[in-house]
């Protein structure tokens, strides 16, 4: 169960990074249909096609990706520390249980 949440966070980070690239590199009118916020064929108040980029959504997607990757990294670090602590506890228990060899 430890690694399940790490995998979920990594997938969320990758998806958010893909959305961030799409939002920040394509104009609104050229966003793929699978990206939310597309404005295909919509006109602005002057009757011209909507132009520009979805910077706010792109920046939020970047923030979500960074937070997800950082959280996954922290969980990996925490699991490694717990694993090392368990290994050192088992080594000291075995050494103390066996006793000194030259009694």
Spatial neighbors of 87 by CB under 8 A, at least 6 apart, are none
* H-run or E-run covering 81: helix 55-98
Predicted pLDDT of residue 96: 55
Predicted pLDDT of residue 12: 97
Predicted pLDDT of residue 57: 87
pLDDT averaged over 10-residue windows placed end to end, the chain, 103 residues? 90 96 84 70 66 79 97 93 79 57 56
């Amino acid at each position: 169960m430890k690694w399940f949440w790490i995998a979920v966070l990594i997938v969320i980070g990758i998806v958010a990074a893909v959305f961030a690239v799409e939002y920040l590199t394509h104009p609104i009118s050229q966003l793929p249909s699978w990206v939310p916020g597309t404005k295909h064929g919509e006109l602005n108040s002057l009757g011209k096609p909507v132009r520009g980029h979805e910077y706010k959504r792109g920046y939020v997607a970047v923030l979500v990706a960074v937070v997800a990757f950082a959280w996954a990294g922290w969980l990996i670090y925490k699991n490694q520390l717990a694993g090392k602590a368990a290994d050192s506890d088992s080594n000291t228990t075995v050494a103390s249980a066996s006793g000194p060899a030259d009694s």
